[in-house]
Amino acid sequence: MKLTVENVSKRYGNGVQALRDFSLELGPGVLGLLGPNGAGKSTLMSILATITLPSAGRVLWDDGKTSVDTAAHPNVLRNVLGFLPQDFGVYPNLSALEYLEYLAAIKGIDGKTAKSRIEELLTLVNLQSAKTRKLGGYSGGMRQRVGIAQALLNDPKLLIVDEPTAGLDPEERVRFRNLLSELSHDRIVILSTHIVSDVELTADRIALVAAGQLITCQSPDQLLNSLDGRVWECVVPPDMLAQFKSHHACSGMVRRQDGVHVRVVSDEKPWHNAESEPAVLEDAYLHWVNAPVEVAA
Ligand SMILES: Nc1ncnc2c1ncn2[C@@H]1O[C@H](COP(=O)(O)OP(=O)(O)OP(=O)(O)O)[C@@H](O)[C@H]1O
């Protein structure tokens, strides 16, 4: 089972170049797609979900027997695809059970199969006890879990979730990430986010994306190792801070009595009192993407 993105570019009608010559090969496991707002993540998700056509390049789906171009044969991929889009909406007057039954009918799943599958999924996403309550009264996390359940109705081989933790509280975020991990051993899961902590514990590989381009794709450990000996903490006097920041990529800053404690990614010792620190993923993100780090609430 393999999904290959080959030199994909996307230019929208308004002239915006959302993706540029993007190539990536994916197998089973969780791929975290991480990048700042506007990087092109949703565009890529939408192309992979066969909703948007690329302007150039192609996406190949290989189920182990045959390989197809997904633009030419979208239904081959759609049959094995589960998608939780960023703007996933639910019908507030339906219960989770009614909603899933409705979608199963639309997807052409026969009544008996649907019934047992829905029960299985409600257990998996931990919504059995709330299944007859109206979706309008659900919390954000519960709604996202219904979203995952609908994406799993057809037992997909490729599961795409676009910014699934937006609006979730920290506890719901953790629960949702664990659920994705559980789901990933026999399928390809793609998780798009601009929040570093969403992917650091769940993703087998992280693809860093900025300005429509793939910057790098590595395991979290490889990303951390790439910064070995290049992360520093130094104490800078407040009146020197502006000048210091103009010369260095800072991934964190805390004001204390003795000055401003600044975390810096730098090949060389950046300041006379700088001390080497172990790297965290946010440092790697800053270093590779060169964008301000966004931390989960
Ligand atoms: N349908 C569209 N028509 C025109 N431009 C678009 C369209 N969708 C996205 N864009 C533009 O393409 C670029 C990439 O957007 P995209 O939504 O793919 O990025 P993203 O990484 O998902 O960002 P976010 O995290 O904010 O959702 C942005 O400049 C965006 O304004």
Specify the length of the chain in residues.
Answer: 297
Residues contacting 225, CB < 8 A, separation 6+: none
Q: Residues 127-163: pLDDT tens digits?
A: 999 999 999 999 888 888 899 899 999 889 999 998 8
Q: Determine whether 252 is exposed, middle or buried from the number of CB atoms within 10 Å of its CB (0-12, 13-18, 19+).
A: middle
DSSP string, 262-291: EEEE-SS--STT-EE----HHHHHHHHH-S
Q: Which class does domain 2-219 fall in? A: alpha beta
Residue whose CA is closest, atom 7 of ligand 1?
A: 12
167 pocket-lining for ligand 1 (C-beta < 6 Å): no
Residue 59's pLDDT is what? Answer: 98
Of 262, 266, 271, nearest to 228 (Cα)? 266
**Position 292 confidence tier, pLDDT thresholds 50, 70, 90:** very low
Tell me how far the alpha carbon of residue 32 lies from the centroid of ligand 1, in angstroms.
18
Q: What are the domain boundaries of the chain?
A: 2-219, 229-278
- ipTM score of complex: 0.96
pLDDT in tens, 4-46: 999 999 999 999 999 999 999 999 999 999 998 899 999 999 9
What letter does residue 52 receive in the DSSP assignment?
A: S
Q: What is the pTM of this model?
A: 0.87
The residue whose CA is least distant from atom 17 of ligand 1 is 42
- Mutating to test ligand 1, I would choose from 10, 20, 41 the residue with most ligand atoms within 8 A of its C-beta, which is 41
Give the pLDDT score at 173. 80
Helix (H), strand (E), coil (C) string for 215-256: EEEECHHHHHHCCCCCEEEEEECHHHHHHHHHHCEEEEEEEE
Asked whether 102 lines ligand 1 (CB < 6 A), one says: no
Q: Is 194:34 a contact under the CB 8 Å cutoff? A: yes
pLDDT digits (tens, 9 = 90+) for 195-242: 888 888 889 999 999 999 999 999 999 999 988 899 999 999 999 999
